Amino acid sequence: MKSTPAGRVSRRAFLAGACGLAVAGMAAAPAAAESAIKRLPDGRVAVRVAKVPSLAKVGGAAQLGTVKGTPVAVVRTDTGYEALSLRCPHAGATVQRQSPGWVCPAHGSQFEIDGELVRGPATTSLAEVPSRLRRGVLTVG
């Protein structure tokens, strides 16, 4: 951003910067997802599960970004919804969605969609993150 010689930001530079931020914010998430996934003031995340298309079917998943410093996803299981830490239990890399489950890019550990360990070197499943479903809203963290 351009500053005036007195160290103040010119009006033109301020407006150009503000517009750039707005565009970047809109590109980050579709409007429907923004209204369905909301970060709460205490760091938890509230998910209106019926409004997230990827959670409509068993086996679907929605990545929430970080919740209290941990990368987290919500998955739809045959019994409901489960929140998982996407931090690999082997050495802490963030696992990535690769159908039908999750794969760690660091050393290749594989996990089922519900976090169950399929193949190491990890020796445990992905950790569950506390969550509670109430009136269609899953509160995670």
Residues of the shown chain interacting with ligand FES in the complex, contacts defined by CB under 6 A = 88, 90-93, 104, 106-109, 121-122
CB of 110 to ligand FES, least distance (A): 9
Q: Nearer to ligand FES by C-beta: 81 or 111?
A: 111
C-alpha angle 68-96-27 in degrees, rounded to nearest 5: 70
- Judged by CB, which is closer to ligand FES: 37, or 95? 95
- In the bound state with ligand FES, the residue whose beta carbon lies nearer, of 37 and 129, is 129
Tell me if 112 sits within 8 A of 103, measured CB to CB: no
Residue 45 or 86: the one with the smaller Cβ distance to ligand FES is 86
> To the nearest whole angstrom, how small is the minimum distance from the Cβ of residue 134 to ligand FES?
33
Cα gap 53→55, rounded to integer Å: 5
Quick one: 123 exposed, middle or buried, by C-beta within 10 A (0-12, 13-18, 19+)? exposed
Least separation in angstroms between CB 60 and ligand FES: 23
Least spacing, CB of residue 106 vs ligand FES, in Å: 4
Sign of the Cα pseudo-torsion (94, 97, 102, 103, in order): negative
